């Protein structure tokens, strides 16, 4: 029996009750299309979509939205050259794109947080899972050593760290993404190190213009 896009969506969301007003939608494609191959990504960038198509995946499951904002409001983008080029690629390729954001964060433990902890090989150090965060108890490291370890394990070029780099750390509060502001993050400062991430997306449109060899607009430069 063929597996359809809708079958995959139902399997992904089955462990969580229905979420009202969710951002998790099939952003492009036919829910009844047979799935031949699946690609996953955190951000559905132009290059990611190209790579998925080249690998003969016809379903892309992505955490973030297609068009540079949480709500993916494209009303103001219809004449934007970056938007037009990206939507052209999506339509011509026929790929289905499903955003898997709210349900994955609602999973217990949070799927993004669990994946981050797994990437750092810290699963055995988890002392407590909170609804939106986790506490890990690691062997003694300095804050600088933790930052360098994260860079190496995640294969990223840089991290941003504030505070005393020589501070000893054994208990770390982990909060992934933007999860509601100070009410969630401030209690985690009771730990010796607090790790969070939130991507300011204001410059993304400018970066995408560079990908296509397009000049940045004044609006891109102001962000």
Domain check: are 10 and 91 in the same one? yes
Domain check: are 72 and 139 in the same one? no
pLDDT of residue 201: 39
> Of 104, 129, 162, which closes a domain?
104
Domain check: are 83 and 11 in the same one? yes
pLDDT of residue 2: 92
Asked whether the beta carbons of 19 and 103 are under 8 A apart, the reply is yes
pLDDT of residue 175: 81
Give the annotated binding-site residues: 63
- pTM assigned to the model: 0.75
Domain check: are 161 and 113 in the same one? yes
Asked whether the beta carbons of 39 and 55 are under 8 A apart, the reply is yes
- Rounded Cα distance between 52 and 49, Å, is 5
Please identify every stretch of the chain with a pLDDT value under 50, giving residue numbers as ranges.
Answer: 182-183, 185-186, 194, 198-207, 218-223
- For residue 138 the two structure tokens come to 């690691």
- Rounded Cα distance between 64 and 25, Å, is 11
CA-nearest of 105, 145, 139 to 122 is: 139
Give the annotated binding-site residues for a divalent metal cation: 63
Domain check: are 136 and 46 in the same one? no
> Of 104, 132, 162, which closes a domain?
104
Number of domains into which the chain is organized: 2
CA distances from 146 to 122, 149, 157, 163 (A): 12, 5, 15, 13
Residue 129 lies in a domain: yes
Domain check: are 130 and 179 in the same one? yes
- For residue 196 the two structure tokens come to 């969070």
Domain check: are 90 and 114 in the same one? no
pLDDT of residue 190: 54
pLDDT of residue 162: 82
The 10s digit of each residue's pLDDT in 31-56 is 999 999 999 999 999 999 999 999 99
Residue 118 lies in a domain: yes
CATH, residue 75: 3.40.1390.30
> Of 104, 124, 146, which closes a domain?
104
The residue range of the domain holding 66 is: 5-104
């Amino acid at each position: 029996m063929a597996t359809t896009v809708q079958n995959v969506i139902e399997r992904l969301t089955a462990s969580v009750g229905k979420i009202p007003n969710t951002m998790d939608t099939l952003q492009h494609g036919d829910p009844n299309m047979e799935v031949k191959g699946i690609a996953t990504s955190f951000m559905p960038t132009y290059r990611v979509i190209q790579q998925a198509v080249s690998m003969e995946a016809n379903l892309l499951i992505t955490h973030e939205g297609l068009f540079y904002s949480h709500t993916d409001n494209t009303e103001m983008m219809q004449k934007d050259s970056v938007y037009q080029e990206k939507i052209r690629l999506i339509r011509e390729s026929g790929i289905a794109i499903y955003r898997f954001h709210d349900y994955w964060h609602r999973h217990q433990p949070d799927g993004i947080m669990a994946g981050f902890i797994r990437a750092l090989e810290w699963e055995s150090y988890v002392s407590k899972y909170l609804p939106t965060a986790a506490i890990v108890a690691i062997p003694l490291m300095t804050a600088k050593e933790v930052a360098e370890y994260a860079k190496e394990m995640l294969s990223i070029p840089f991290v941003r760290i504030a505070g005393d780099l020589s501070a000893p750390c054994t208990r770390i509060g982990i909060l992934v993404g933007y999860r509601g502001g100070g009410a969630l993050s401030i209690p985690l400062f009771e730990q010796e190190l607090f790790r969070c991430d939130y991507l300011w997306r204001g410059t993304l449109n400018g970066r995408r213009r560079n990908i296509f060899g397009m000049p940045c607009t004044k609006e891109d430069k102001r962000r």
